[in-house]
Structure 1
Amino acid sequence: MATNPVQFIQQTRAEVAKIVWPTRREVILTTIMVFIMATLTAIFFAVVDILIRTGLQGLFDLLG
């Protein structure tokens, strides 16, 4: 379905007018939460990595 350029621009402006931008406070809180979750995820995977490495080293020491 073809739309002429004038209609396209009008529809685009109508859709852009519907956008609700977050407040500064929402952006700051969301950013802080992302940093917290990224840090917790990094710590979790570091601990899992250490546990797997320790387990494998113990297994290899028993077998080798």
Structure 2
Amino acid sequence: MAERTNPFTFLQQVRTEAAKVVWPSRRETVISTIMVLIMAILASIFFLLADQLLSFGVGFLLGVGG
């Protein structure tokens, strides 16, 4: 079983580990956000086109497509 540490030691360890965190700059955050939005838009367009194509194909095969 792991050895229990007292709360003071635990908080010191948490502060030490939190100091090691490297936060992204504002520019990196903005660029990442824009890239995520672009990829989401591209994925939605792809799935819209795939859905329309499959809908047309199924309608054509079933003879209800006109």
Normalised TM-score (structure 1): 0.93
Q: Which residue does 1:35 correspond to in 2?
A: 37
Paired amino acid for 1:37? M
Greater RCO structure (CA 8 Å; 6+ sep): 2
After TM superposition, what 4+ stretches of structure 1 lie above 6 angstroms from structure 2?
none
Larger helix proportion, structure 1 or 2?
1
Q: 2: distance between equivalents of 1:13 and 1:23?
A: 21
Alignment RMSD: 1.0
Instruction: Give identity over the alignment, percent.
Output: 50
CA distance in 1, matches of 2:29, 2:37: 12
Structure 2: unaligned runs, 5 residues or longer: none
- Does 2:25 align with 1:14? no
In the TM superposition, what is the alpha-carbon distance from 1:3 to its structure 2 partner?
1.1
- The number of equivalent residue pairs is 62
Report deviation, 1:23.
0.5
